[in-house]
Amino acid sequence: MDLNINYHTEMTPDIALQILRDGHERFLSGRSKHRGLLQKVQETKDNPRPFASILSCMDSRVPTELILDQSIGDIFNIRIAGNVISPHVLGSLEYTIATAGSKLIVVMGHTNCGAVRSACDDVMRENLSGLLREVKVCISQEFTEISNRTGHNESFVNKVSLLNVYRSVQQILEQSSIIRQRVDSREIKIIPAMYDISVGNLTFYNKHC
């Protein structure tokens, strides 16, 4: 599906999600679109059309626009270690929804996340410690890994990462009435997702808001 629609009148959360799904399928099959990026700079300088907002980790192996095959002006890209929620992240998301008109929020974690590994290993490091405390909440919520509940257990780390994605989704809904009201009215959707850095596959989860 291409973005050949009237953005202001025809874009919906479901169309936005399908555009991202289609873009990721192109990425996986090696058919990413060839774009004249300098031309896109000119086309979007006065009228960008970002239809979705992606909250993801800052990991260098997770280049959001590339794995979703999107271009300049297509998505808002909010990146922070561990894709955690803070007042600044919430404010940014509120801007994308209430002011810029995005129809979809995707909260995207990834496998083998360094921030989650550090949280599992109880790393303490100046300003990083405050961020990792947000992730540590999810460690006690993971019950299936009985032994080696550390950052050296990739399975454990990945399960905590997914719990952390769902926690971020829940925090967005609980801490932002602006976003919650638009979700309740079905004006927007929030979708959890996980990216597998070993194979390049992104899973959008069916349980969504």
- 123-162, pLDDT tens digit by residue? 999 999 999 999 999 999 999 999 999 999 999 999 999 9
**Mean model confidence pLDDT for the chain:** 93
How far is it, in rounded angstroms, from Cα 107 to Cα 89? 12
* Chain segment 85-109, per-residue pLDDT in tens: 999 999 999 999 999 999 999 999 9
Average pLDDT for 18-26: 97
Please say if the pLDDT value at position 42 is more than 90. Answer: no
Which is higher by pLDDT, 43 or 187? 187
Q: Give all strands of the β-sheet with 201-204 in edge-to-edge order.
A: 75-79, 52-56, 104-110, 189-196, 201-204
Contact 172, 134 (CB under 8 A): no
Please say if the pLDDT value at position 182 is more than 80. Answer: yes
Q: What percent of the chain has pLDDT over 70?
A: 94
Q: pLDDT confidence of 1, banded at 50, 70, 90?
A: very low
Please say if the pLDDT value at position 200 is more than 50. Answer: yes
Q: Which domains does the chain have, with CATH numbers?
A: 7-204 (3.40.1050.10)
pLDDT attached to residue 34: 86
Cα-to-chain-centroid distance, residue 114? 16
pLDDT attached to residue 6: 58
10 token code pair: 């025809």
Closest listed residue to residue 164, CA positions, set 104, 120, 100: 120
Q: pLDDT confidence of 31, banded at 50, 70, 90?
A: very high
End-to-end CA distance of the chain: 23
β-pairing, 201-204 vs 189-196, is: antiparallel
Cα Rg of the chain (Å, integer): 17
Average pLDDT for 77-90: 98
